Structure 1
Amino acid sequence: MGKHVVVGSGQVGTHLAAKLVAQGHEVVVVTRSGRGPDGAVKVAADVADQARLTELAKGADVLYNCVNPQYHRWLTDWPPMAASFLAAAESSGAVLVILGNLYPYGPVSVPMTEDLPLASTTPKMRVRAKMWTDALAAHEAGRIRVTEVRGSDYFGPGATDQSYLGERFIGPLRAGKTVPLVWPADMPHSWTYLPDVADALITAGGDERAWGRPWHVPTGAPLTFRQLGEKMAVLLGRPAPRMRQLPWPLLRAVGVFSPFLGELKHTRYQFVAPYVLDSSAFQRTFGVAPTPIEDALKATLDA
């Protein structure tokens, strides 16, 4: 058993820490608030404080970056935190596992594989791309060992209220009401199950074959909002749900007052055309598969 330091206790960090605790590891969870799952050592700290994070990572086998600052604050919050992670990983010798995302690829017209260029020109996406390229450069220089794990839009138990398949989707479906959608109902999209994300992070941190490159979380075949709603309705014993897409001009107008809605313009391309994640490299290399969609949706509804 080893020491694992999980920084961030959101929808991914909580699953990750709980799984590591269940496996018998020493787990330290670092957040601003000092919260975390039972069985873990919970520490309140500023992640951007390099000296403090370096102290907490001392003796760690793996250091996980599961932090998720508010999207509209990426330009200010990410650079000092990313530098802090690199310093802590270099000082401690811990494997740095970064929870990444697909945003740096930018708009694509093919299934996404890990060898796609990080071609997005949006400033916030460039920040995430630089985090990875800086970490990879440190790895190639022999200063640290690093990997990055990337998934598509999350769903599952513990998903935040910003999840497109969270309570704002499930609540009306349960009640037999029309489900309001931000995006088109019939566009294929890849969805990544939260427990599969945590499993992929653990695998990547503990297997040297994962180090020095990015990986995609095992993710099932793309499904539309309508297909997902129909599958959930069957599990709930309800008729297929009605869906209504909210007008884009209305969302843009409301976005003036809501930071979250205001940022949707940067990710709209992901939902108005097919958005498909190819995770075959991870599945083939480590011999794992995504959780079957029916099992994943049942666990989501039960939660």
Structure 2
Amino acid sequence: MEKFVIVGVGATGRAVAKALKGREAEVILVSRSGGGADLPGTRVARGDAADAQFMAQVAAGATAIFNCANPPYNKWLTDWPPVAASLVQAATRSGAVLTTLSNLYAYGPPTAPLTPHDPLVSTLPKAQVRATMWRDALAAHERGDLRATEVRASDFIGHGSQSLFERALPQVAKGRTATVYGDVDQLHSWTYTGDVGRTLVAAATTEAAWGRPWHAVTNEPATMRSVLSDLAAALGAPAPKVRSLPNGLLKAIGLVSPLIGELPKVSYQFERPFIIDDNETRTLLGLEPTPWSEVIADAVGR
């Protein structure tokens, strides 16, 4: 029987568990909180993914380890390195395919649709942490120490994703002005959390996918304004008015909210077209994105 270890029980970790449903497999959810007990067909291993000994025990005999951990953004510099090192060690000892969920920050500002072969050139310290995680895993893969792959997703949409859309839903549902940030009329790729899970499973279980990064299969780009209108329609509410917070105000809010304070550093993602190219995922892994109407229905909890 296959054995899969999922680190993190947020929206993406749960999406992986759902994507594994139907396989003859043991599925273990790792979290410090012990969450995830509500997911059928899984068992929970409560502990710290940065604890190499704990992870080695949990991952013994595993087919794949899915890194869906999500440290607080303002703690990436301190929290990510020990988790990454622990999971590399666990994958090396167990023979599991280390399958990491990442994002697009490390690419830096784009001038065209992003491909998984684009260089990781961002100079932002937090982006460099993610780039280093991939380079270290890839180096270990190329040495033959382990097998590794990475799936990079754009900004999330989906129930429980803690996305900007989820935060705006209460305003949208009441017909009030939705407060967001960036240029609401720029095209942007939004990755459905369910499709993140499907892509991670496909990459982990397809030998040809190992040793390289992939982009999560993603619907066609859409503006924030149009997505908010789609969400409103699904809720039976009128298309909302939209207000975008300026960077100056975001910086001021950042004095009391570290997460909000980080947004101006990556404002380029929301001030110009920010689009990913997932053609290789569709062609080589045989995936298609979930229909947009289903994404919207899930995002509003329908």
TM-score, normalised via structure 1 length: 0.95
Q: Is the 8 A contact 2:56 2:90 kept in 1?
A: yes
Question: Counterparts in 2 of 1:220-239, with a 5 A limit?
Answer: 220-239=219-238
Q: Which amino acid is 1:8 matched to? A: G
Other-structure match for 1:72: 74
Q: Aligned partners of 1:69, 1:242: CA distance in 2, in Å?
A: 33
Other-structure match for 2:126: 124
How many residues were matched structurally? Answer: 300
- How far did 1:80 drift? 1.1
**Mean alpha-carbon deviation: is it higher for 135-144 or for 35-44?**
35-44
**Mean alpha-carbon deviation: is it higher for 228-237 or for 43-52?**
228-237
- How far did 1:13 drift? 0.5
SS of 1:27's equivalent in the other structure is: strand
Q: Which amino acid is 2:249 matched to? A: L
Q: Once the two structures are superposed, what CA deviation does each residue of 1:56-88 show, in whole Å capped at 9, x if it has no partner?
A: 100101111111111111111111111111110
**Mean alpha-carbon deviation: is it higher for 112-121 or for 257-266?**
257-266
Q: Is the 8 A contact 2:179 2:245 kept in 1?
A: yes
Other-structure match for 1:285: 284
Q: Is the 8 A contact 2:29 2:45 kept in 1?
A: yes
- How far did 1:236 drift? 3.2
Question: Counterparts in 2 of 1:75-154, with a 5 A limit?
Answer: 75-154=77-156
Other-structure match for 1:23: 23
Q: Is the 8 A contact 2:203 2:285 kept in 1?
A: no
Q: Once the two structures are superposed, what CA deviation does each residue of 1:252-298 show, in whole Å capped at 9, x if it has no partner?
A: 11111111111112221100111001101100112221112122112
- How far did 1:22 drift? 4.3
For structure 1, the residue ranges without an aligned partner over 5 or more in a row are none
- How far did 1:21 drift? 4.2
SS of 1:34's equivalent in the other structure is: coil
Q: Which amino acid is 1:125 matched to? A: A
SS of 1:38's equivalent in the other structure is: coil
- How far did 1:125 drift? 0.7
Q: How much is the aligned-residue C-alpha RMSD, in angstroms? A: 1.3
Q: Is the 8 A contact 2:7 2:30 kept in 1?
A: yes
1:53 aligns with 2:55: yes
Q: Aligned partners of 2:206, 2:190: CA distance in 1, in Å?
A: 25
Q: Once the two structures are superposed, what CA deviation does each residue of 1:232-251 show, in whole Å capped at 9, x if it has no partner?
A: 23333333211111232122
Q: Which amino acid is 1:89 matched to? A: A
- How far did 1:226 drift? 0.9
SS of 1:99's equivalent in the other structure is: strand
SS of 2:4's equivalent in the other structure is: strand
SS of 1:185's equivalent in the other structure is: coil
Q: Which amino acid is 2:89 matched to? A: A
Other-structure match for 1:266: 265
- How far did 1:164 drift? 1.1
Q: Is the 8 A contact 1:35 1:43 kept in 2?
A: no
- How far did 1:34 drift? 1.4
SS of 1:112's equivalent in the other structure is: coil
Q: Aligned partners of 1:89, 1:247: CA distance in 2, in Å?
A: 44
Structure 1 residues 240 and 94: alpha-carbon distance in aligned structure 2, compared to 1, 3 A threshold: same
TM-score, normalised via structure 2 length: 0.96
For structure 2, the residue ranges without an aligned partner over 5 or more in a row are none
Q: Which amino acid is 2:6 matched to? A: V
Question: Counterparts in 2 of 1:2-21, with a 5 A limit?
Answer: 2-21=2-21
Other-structure match for 2:203: 204
SS of 1:26's equivalent in the other structure is: strand
Q: Aligned partners of 1:158, 1:240: CA distance in 2, in Å?
A: 22
Q: Which amino acid is 2:244 matched to? A: Q
Q: Is the 8 A contact 2:6 2:13 kept in 1?
A: yes
Q: Once the two structures are superposed, what CA deviation does each residue of 1:166-220 show, in whole Å capped at 9, x if it has no partner?
A: 1x22211111111112222111111000100000111111110110000001111
Q: Is the 8 A contact 1:169 1:180 kept in 2?
A: yes
- How far did 1:49 drift? 1.2
Q: Aligned partners of 1:237, 1:41: CA distance in 2, in Å?
A: 38
Quick one: percent identity of the two aligned structures?
Answer: 45
Question: Counterparts in 2 of 1:236-251, with a 5 A limit?
Answer: 236-251=235-250
Q: Aligned partners of 1:18, 1:282: CA distance in 2, in Å?
A: 20
Q: Is the 8 A contact 2:34 2:47 kept in 1?
A: yes
Q: Aligned partners of 2:146, 2:265: CA distance in 1, in Å?
A: 32
